[in-house]
Amino acid sequence: MSSLPVSAIPEPIDGVTRQLARAIAASAPLADAAAIAAARRGVLDFLAAAFAGADDAGYRKLLAVTGPGSRGEAAVIGYPAGVNALDAALLNGYAGHALDYDDVHSSVRGHPGTVLLPALFALAQSRRSSASELLAAYVVGVETMARLGLALGSRHYEQGFHNTATLGTLGAAAAAAFLLRLDEAAIENALGLAATQSAGLRLQFGSEAKPLHAGQAARAGLFAAQLAAAGLQGSRGALDGPTGFFGVFGAGAAQPERVLQGWGAPWQIVTPGLYFKPWPCCTATHYALHAALTLRRAHDLTPHEIEHVLVTFPPGGDTPLLSHAPATGLEARFSVEYALAAALTDGAAGVATFADVPVRAELATLAARVSRTHDESAPRASTDPSTRFSAVTITLKNGTVLSHKTDRLYSAEDLQAKFADAVDQHAGFATLPALVETMQSADDLAIIFQSFAKIKA
């Protein structure tokens, strides 16, 4: 039996997909000063992470494969020539996630900026969109990713999917569709075209393929919006029903109705807001890092005093930390053992700590004395920030036992300093943070795009 033509497929009666599309189309984030201010900080943080990531070996490999064969006007970080918009989204998304130094959102359980902004940069450049229009679309993209994350539930991540990749594809499609000013029906179609491209497995954590997830999501989301704008029609109601996005990816835990609950009131980019990383490693290490640094400062600890370190997580709290004894800095980004060894030896860990080179022998030795456990009486770690913590207990060689628990993330507050460090204090980029704080026009964006080629990859 042949399938029905697209025009004959029954349209769902106001399903979640259509309701989400309606919310996206009706959004007016420019009226919310706090949301736009938060978006500006997100742009600056992305630039810091991506400019630093341009020196990553994996990014250079992707550039070598993608750059020479691509032709267009879209700017790429660390590349002298323009490429087509889809390739720019792919490349800049990879650069932003290369060091795992980019923003995190608890509702997403992933990284919004490194997916949304590369897609929007490429599209805005081709359309000569204003900076204000881009910021508004960015707010809508974060809202979409976050609300989808809350509705999807935790089992999606726990069964092995990478939310940055899967939710990011839909978020990028929503943001791009908003920037393109698509109507409700076209946005619904874009979401469906994105959902069918949604992919990414956590087994790639600690490899050069993990940041590829971000780039692919940026590219796929932009592609979905472009296809919808061109009129290529997919199935309606792609998020709904047993074979829709929630039914397939939710593992029985999805609550689709949560997508629309509280839409934009407040915007998710404001509350709970973006977390800006002070250290270039997996966020799941950051609670323990803060606790260890607190103990180090309070007791003036040195590595030779330490007999053993125990890190206690809630159930599932260390799910992304796949590496226990990393061989390289790339693997070490997903190792709480190595992150704590670095913090207790050097203090706050920096970009060089997690460079893709063999790990330092003295840090590997201390990391071998770090072990993990779980507090089974605690709620399972989820998109709810209140379920996350780490407790660090250090036993010294003289028998003294020191403990500290951290149950919140401490964001990098000075993003201008983070950006300056990312560009190695280069004077040629000194004015960019101030421009991001005030940008409104297409000309303002053009200055930012021109800076991409000045970065050395």
Q: Kindly report, residue by residue over 283-333, the tens digit of the pLDDT.
A: 999 999 999 999 999 999 999 999 999 999 999 999 999 999 999 999 999
Whole-number pLDDT of residue 13: 61
Judge if 363 and 394 occupy the same domain: yes
Q: What is the pLDDT of residue 425?
A: 87
Of 361, 385, 406, the residue that ends a domain is 406
Does 195 lie in the same domain as 339? no
306: its two tokens: 């330490």
Question: Based on the domain organization, do 83 and 205 belong to the same domain?
Answer: yes
3-state secondary structure of 393: strand
Adjacency order of strands within the sheet including 370-374: 370-374, 306-313, 390-396, 401-406
pLDDT of 427 reads 87
* Domain annotation covers residue 269: yes
Helix, strand, coil abundance in the chain, percent, nearest 5: 55, 10, 40
Give me the domain span that covers residue 165: 6-273
- Tally of domains in the chain: 2
How does pLDDT run across 239-292, given as a tens digit for each residue? 999 999 999 999 999 999 999 999 999 999 999 999 999 999 999 999 999 999
What residue type is assigned to position 450 of the chain? Q
In tens digits, what is the pLDDT along the chain, a chain of 457 residues?
A: 344 344 444 444 689 999 999 999 999 999 999 999 999 999 999 999 999 999 999 999 999 999 999 999 999 999 999 999 999 999 999 999 999 999 999 999 999 999 999 999 999 999 999 999 999 999 999 999 999 999 999 999 999 999 999 999 999 999 999 999 999 999 999 999 999 999 999 999 999 999 999 999 999 999 999 999 999 999 999 999 999 999 999 999 999 999 999 999 999 999 999 999 999 999 999 999 999 999 999 999 999 999 999 999 999 999 999 999 999 999 999 999 999 999 999 997 788 888 889 999 999 999 999 999 999 999 999 989 999 999 999 999 999 999 999 999 999 989 999 999 899 888 899 999 999 999 999 999 999 999 999 998 8
242 and 317 share a domain? no
The verdict on residue 426 lying in a domain is no
Angstrom distance (rounded) from CA 152 to CA 334: 24
Q: What is the CA radius of gyration of the chain?
A: 22
Domain boundary among 273, 298, 324: 273
Sign of CA dihedral 437, 439, 444, 450: positive
Distance CA 277, CA 283 (A): 8
User: Taken in order 134, 135, 138, 144, is the CA torsion positive or negative?
Assistant: negative
Q: What is the DSSP string of 314-380?
A: -TTTTTT---SS-SBHHHHTT-HHHHHHHHHHHSS--GGGG-SSBPPHHHHHHHTTEEEEE-TTSPP
Within-domain flag for 423? no
Give the pLDDT of residue 9.
43
Residue ending a domain, choose from 273, 294, 322 = 273
Task: Provide DSSP, 101-124.
Answer: -S-BBTTTTB-SHHHHHHHHHHHH
The CATH number of the domain holding residue 389 is 3.30.1330.120
- Are 287 and 243 in the same domain? no
13, part of any domain: yes
Q: How far is CA 207 from CA 17, 76, 442, in A?
A: 34, 22, 37
For residues 238 and 363, membership in a common domain is answered with: no
Preceding omega of 266 cis (within 30 degrees of 0):
yes
Interatomic CA distance for residues 46 and 59, integer angstroms: 16
Asked whether residue 431 is domain-assigned, the answer is no
> How many whole angstroms separate alpha carbon 269 and alpha carbon 153?
19
Please tell me the distance from the alpha carbon of residue 34 to that of residue 242, in angstroms, as a whole number: 38
Q: Are residues 230 and 378 in the same domain?
A: no
Give pLDDT, residue 348. 77
Residue 328 falls within a domain, yes or no?
Answer: yes
Q: Fill in the DSSP letter of residue 381.
A: P
Closest alpha carbon to 160 in 206, 202, 204, 198: 202
Give Cα separations from 327 to 17, 60, 108, 456 (angstroms): 44, 21, 30, 27
Same domain, 187 and 53: yes
pTM for the model: 0.92
The phi, psi pair for 424, rounded to 5°, reads 55, 40
- Does any domain span residue 378? yes
How far apart, in whole angstroms, are the C-alpha atoms of residue 215 and residue 213?
A: 6
d(CA 368, CA 161): 29
The CATH number covering residue 245 comes to 1.10.4100.10
Q: Which residues pair with 275 in a beta bridge?
A: 104
Please name the amino acid found at residue 427: A
- Give the C-alpha separation, 7 to 273, whole Å: 41
Q: Do 312 and 382 lie in a common domain?
A: yes
Do 89 and 229 fall into the same domain? yes
